Structure 1
């Protein structure tokens, strides 16, 4: 069983498609909430809502979530059950065509910023257990419980669709207090969660990762992943302070810039830069990792591991290999071989 990659982002402030907002509007209508109520403060236009290819910023979706949670604070799990693999567009097609659950999880983590998550999920193998943990720490308090439940329910709903059967859930822990009714939780997770535990996670039997998926197709996987990569590359050039930091780093030749150097290039103090990145749900190190990870895949086909490590600012090749495994769940050599290119 391979190790799992780290998620490509650890924040929620990334551009996203309109599909999630459209789903939430339909869900809200089923619960008696008008479109005007749900769209209040989102600045979403009729043209955006009518365009299935429209892209919006995370704060616009968050405004819709806030309006929905204000009127239906206990509906997070019920909303999450409406997120299917097809809701995620090309990323969902990559899930469906994957060979195994582990391959689907891998692509989800590598292209997490093509999803609609707000809770920075991670997947970690712990012996014979797979721990799916959420980190909602950067979210406003008023939407945190709703989004934790929505995101975790969506993850389990999609996994259940992929395996067309029961997901072997061992436990579910949620940080917020227990609601009056847990029937939706039990329907999605197959058991009653533990509440007020101080953490948000589910634990499943790791054997789930080895399950073959019924719609597996190497050709469809290759096409879907290429489309994911193209879309992610475009979206990751996002506006705002995070985008400005990325642009500075992308111009770097050997990534020798420290955060104070980047802050000076942006005309602000390191303290202000750190605060603004925190408010955006990210950090300097997370952005540095994103840019390094992208640059690595560009450099590897034509250079050795040692050369790429030096180009990315790593002191030694071993450190780069370790980082690459975190990013992509495999070694640079295997990554290159799997794509049929030379180098390494």
Structure 2
């Protein structure tokens, strides 16, 4: 189950209270009951992605604010990230802060994966969210990244471009463009922030090398404990997400990557009431929506690990009750 840290969830409740919403009423409205039976956990309580989605969607509807996740992300504090926030805060520059994010982001929220790459004079930090993440969750995550970096470097600092996979109205896009102070692209292949590579060397005001080293040790300990509690289902899903494509993504290869025999892996998955084929199909279904309309269907079929185009077409029809070509005709024109 994809989860997030209690303090990251609670910061949403705190913000809603500043807007006049009673926290108990909000939790009751989303049928929240996840604090029960959590006290015995070794780690701090973790909240399910389902509850997080419900909270943000409830706030969006109650406040009639289509950009609620964006508004929430603007209010982020480094403390809301828990130990990762303090680790980032004590980094010596943006490059080391991004390294901390890549390594320990799951301590805050195990609901997606961050990636980083450089392309000449530009740097890119990309977020691959869990397929069940709502648009409001994505808005908060991307906005929070920029907000925290501005707090630690310069309030006027702006990315080169921001990309969102979701659509937006012209009014919403105007609001986003004004705050990010850069072009905002919607209906994109990835959620990502593009910025000049020169930013990577910018020094942080709160640089503290000794504290940073201690926090890294604590983060490693917490990450080790967190991973030991993860379901095998989650570990396999993370392996899939980390792959550039799903070619040769077999049971045998996956079991080997986890230092298991295929039989042992299947036995553990059976206890979790899911099969390897189900997990692979979930990842294929997640990826196809990110790719379709952006590259030829034949390329997508190969990248998703299908033996031929007809197998891909049959799977797509099973998922969406239409063929890939029929689905393409339903897509809105790119408003980005």
TM-score, scaled to structure 2: 0.65
For structure 2, list consecutive stretches of 5 or more residues without a partner in the other structure: 239-254, 287-336
**Deviation by residue 1:22-74 (Cα, 9 ceiling, x = unmatched):** 1111223344544333452332348989xxx8422333433323433444432
Choose the corresponding residue for 1:157, options 142, 147, 153: 147
Which of residues 8, 18, 24 in structure 1 aligns to 2:6?
18
Residue 127 (structure 1) shift: 1.1
Q: Judging changes above 3 Å, is the alpha-carbon distance between structure 1 residues 66 and 263 closer, same or farther for their aligned structure 2 residues?
A: farther
CA distance in 2, matches of 1:65, 1:48: 22
What is the distance in 2 between the residues matched to 1:149 and 1:24?
13
Change in Cα spacing, 1:19 to 1:264, as seen in structure 2 (3 Å) is: closer
Alignment partner of 1:178 is 2:181: no
CA distance in 2, matches of 1:183, 1:107: 32
Cα distance in 2, alignment partners of residues 189 and 157 from structure 1: 9
Q: Which residue is equivalent to 1:78?
A: 71
Distance 1:268-1:280 versus aligned 2 partners, 3 A rule? farther
Q: Give the alignment partner of residue 272 of structure 1, picking from 264, 275, 284.
A: 275
- For residues 243 and 175 of structure 1, the distance between their equivalents in structure 2, rounded to whole angstroms, comes to 23
More off after superposition, 131-140 vs 256-265: 256-265
In structure 1, the partner of 2:45 is 55
Q: Work out whether residues 168 and 205 of structure 1, in 8 Å CA contact, stay in contact via their aligned partners in 2.
A: no
Asked if the contact 2:93/2:203 (under 8 Å) is kept, the reply is yes
- Structure 2 equivalent of residue 67 of structure 1: 58
Match of 1:27 in 2: 15
Q: Decide which moves more: 83-92 or 113-122.
A: 113-122
Report the CA distance shift for 1:77/1:117 in structure 2 as closer, same or farther (over 3 A). farther
- Runs of 5+ unmatched residues, structure 1: 1-12, 247-251, 284-344
CA RMSD of aligned residues (A): 3.7
Q: 1:191 aligns with which of 159, 182, 194?
A: 182
In the alignment of these two chains, the number of paired residues is: 261
TM-score computed with the length of structure 1 as normaliser: 0.64
Shift of the 58–187 alpha-carbon distance from structure 1 to 2, 3 Å rule, reads: farther
Cα deviation code 1:156-215 (max 9, x no counterpart): 011112213433411112222223334542354112412233432221001111112122
Q: Summarize deviations over 1:110-142 as a string: whole Å, max 9, x none.
A: 1111123634221211111111222235125xx
The question of 1:214 aligning with 2:205 is answered yes
Distance 1:65 1:238, change over 3 A: farther
CA gap 1:178/1:33 in 2 versus in 1, 3 angstroms: same
- State yes or no: 1:131 paired with 2:137: no
- Please say if 1:237 is aligned against 2:240: no
Q: CA shift at 1:154, angstroms?
A: 0.5
Higher relative contact order (CA 8 A, sep 6+): 1
For the Cα contact (< 8 Å) 1:41–1:63, is it kept in 2? no
Counterpart CA distance in 2 for 1:91 and 1:147 is 19
For residues 13 and 230 of structure 2, the distance between their equivalents in structure 1, rounded to whole angstroms, comes to 26
Spell out, residue by residue over 1:65-115, the C-alpha distance to the aligned partner (whole angstroms, 9 max, x if none): 343344443211111112221211211111111111101110110111112
CA distance in 2, matches of 1:34, 1:208: 41
